[in-house]
Structure 1
Amino acid sequence: MSINRTRAGVAGLVIALGSLLGPDSGAYAHEIVGNRFFPATLGIDDPGVNDELSLPTFDSFKTGDVPPVRQRDVSGEFSKRITEDFAISFGSTYTFLGPIDPTVPGANGFQNLETTFKYRVFKDPVHEFVMSVGLNVEWGGTGSQSVGADPFNTYTPTIYFGKGFGDLPDTVSWLRPVAITGQVGYAIPGRNFTTTFGIDPDTGASTADTEFHPRVLNWGGTIQYSMPYLKSSVIDLGLPDFINHLVPLVEATLQTPVANTLTSGTTTTGTINPGVIWVGNKFQIAAEALIPINRQSGTNVGFIAQLHLYLDDIDPRGIGKPIFGGPVQPASPFARN
């Protein structure tokens, strides 16, 4: 998606949502570590534990299949804190597959349901560092095999981290708004292989086709420059308010098969995603390009966009409150320290 082409539309939506959700006031939770606010990112999960709702997330791209297929996804994810440091999220995606050749029928349906259990294990406000661990479970058989949903579970233990550079010396204060986040997960299929039996149409003989399901390293990261941080914690340049809410960033989302790869190969696939996030105290809007790193990853530049609601800021004593424990100490990504 072209950010320039959509700026007017996004700005209008921001204004409309701002009227709906109320004026910017002190945010209550979301992931704020010291002076650092870590926004939710689109390609990888942010390192925080929060009450939040991503709805909708929309993407469109051409797959790396031969011949390629135009894939469009509409998804949503709801995350609920059980305690201040532990949350469970539930996600679902509906996929539309449209072949490039109009004579070939497409397909559409739900992907498998996913559940993520996430626990924040470390938080250092002075050095703006946070780390969480999690387990993602893809529930096999809950989606449609016509869009590629597997009939077996997949388990992915994952480490998430975030680091802001607000502790840099004054000589490089212009770098203090920079932050990096990352995640590393190891996807373990619940089934090592699937064998499909059939009949050769030419000879009538029985056939058996075995597909091995690889174990995959899911890894990625972001580098972001926070304009809210620049204004509140470094210097106020007197920029327009819209600019002061932006977080330009680049994400990388990559997958590398590392075991049981007899039929899958070991080629790394993924995308590099430059984009921007507009951050409010109760919601954010984000858009990124999806640039495939090789032919196997896709055949053109796609895009992804998302509306993300901070439930712990919208309703801190209701749906945004941890099930066990009270609302956390008020904080804001725009407060001057």
Structure 2
Amino acid sequence: MSRYAACCLALANLIALASIPDAFAHCFVGPRFFPATLAIDDPCVADEMSLPTVTWSKTPDTPPATEWDLSGELSKRITEDFGVSIGETWTQIRQPDGSVTTGFQDLETTFQYQLLKDSPHELALLAGVIVDWGNTGATNSGLGTSYSLVTPTLYVGKGLGELPDTMSWARPFALTGQVGYQIPTSSFDFTQSAFIPQQLVYGASLQYSMPYLKSEVIDLELPDFINHLIPILEANFTTPVANNFGNPYTTTGFLNPGVIWVGSYFQVGLEAVIPINRDSGSGVGVLGQLHLYLDDMFPTTVGQPLFGGTPSTPRKLTF
């Protein structure tokens, strides 16, 4: 069995074994639950951990190399509305000739503030700043950089629960998105003899919540496993917009169709990774993630904000 198939099988087994009837979740806006999406971020601050996130893909080189990314991220609320996360990614790139490059990418931290949670309109807004710290990764292998990247970012989530009764079938739909402007701390990379562009980094997700369908629209008496599912389509893109002298302003990105299974204290997601063009990658990859809800697992201890938090009963999803 290939490593690709083994990864998919392991994630499928984990989903199948998790059959808890009730789920608690951290990103509620009114009756709407926004799951932690895999390719972009969800629009809420929370105490949570993604470990592991595994990606298999092929690079855009000719002939392409095979790339494995293994990452983890820990998010912690400092106050009810302000949170910080820290993430790291280990990468292995195997060339067609058998040579292998391995190492850590630059350390990433994110600072986020919850601007709005409008329950009646199922609307959430979040502002953040992502920092990829230079000289913290494997610069000798080309996996890290000598400069940092600072990306002010706005996140949004909107449920469609306000649709009229004639469109009740569409109420479980929700949209999330983010847009950021990535600014390098240096304008020129002397090791590569190339300008470092400023880039627009943006993405969105379209999701259909089976838990919402059952609890807020109609109970179709589907199997319990189906009622835990959120089918999803994610997309993320990067477009150079400034300081890109001598290089084409080509947009790169990926489409990620997949599904998220929501459990009591965790979720499991599995998505395909489809490059939008040859500059983005070769063929179809796979992305899988185990995501833990620390604020639901430990609501009175590590799941509380460091300042101003009070113990509360976790919000329950109905299946």
Given the two structures, how large is their TM-score scaled by the length of structure 1? 0.88
Partner of 1:311: 294
Q: Does 1:120 align with 2:103?
A: no
> Where do residues 1-337 of structure 1 align in structure 2 (5 Å cutoff)?
9-10=10-11, 12-14=13-15, 16=17, 23=20, 25=22, 27=24, 30-102=26-98, 105-145=99-139, 146-196=141-191, 210-324=193-307, 325-328=309-312, 330-334=314-318
Whether the 8 Å CA contact 2:23–2:265 is kept in 1: the answer is: no
Whether the 8 Å CA contact 2:151–2:182 is kept in 1: the answer is: yes
Paired amino acid for 1:124: D
Larger-Rg structure: 1
Paired amino acid for 1:50: A
How far residue 271 of structure 1 moved from its aligned partner, in angstroms, is 0.5
Between the aligned partners of 1:98 and 1:48, the Cα distance in structure 2 is: 36
Q: In the TM superposition, what whole-angstrom CA distance separates every residue of 1:232-279 from its partner, at most 9, and x where no partner exists?
A: 110000000000000001000100000001144210000000000000
User: What is the aligned residue count?
Assistant: 315
* Identity over aligned pairs, percent: 53
Paired amino acid for 2:165: D
Between the aligned partners of 1:117 and 1:282, the Cα distance in structure 2 is: 24
Whether the 8 Å CA contact 1:185–1:218 is kept in 2: the answer is: yes
Between the aligned partners of 2:7 and 2:214, the Cα distance in structure 1 is: 25
Between the aligned partners of 1:12 and 1:194, the Cα distance in structure 2 is: 45
Q: Which runs of 5+ in 2 are unaligned?
A: none
Paired amino acid for 2:136: T
How far residue 24 of structure 1 moved from its aligned partner, in angstroms, is 5.1
Whether the 8 Å CA contact 2:106–2:143 is kept in 1: the answer is: no
How far residue 69 of structure 1 moved from its aligned partner, in angstroms, is 1.8
Q: Which runs of 5+ in 1 are unaligned?
A: 197-208
Paired amino acid for 1:71: E
Paired amino acid for 1:333: L
How far residue 149 of structure 1 moved from its aligned partner, in angstroms, is 1.2
Whether the 8 Å CA contact 2:59–2:65 is kept in 1: the answer is: yes
Whether the 8 Å CA contact 1:275–1:287 is kept in 2: the answer is: yes
SS at match of 1:229: helix
Given the two structures, how large is their TM-score scaled by the length of structure 2? 0.93
How far residue 280 of structure 1 moved from its aligned partner, in angstroms, is 1.3
How far residue 9 of structure 1 moved from its aligned partner, in angstroms, is 4.9
How far residue 287 of structure 1 moved from its aligned partner, in angstroms, is 0.4
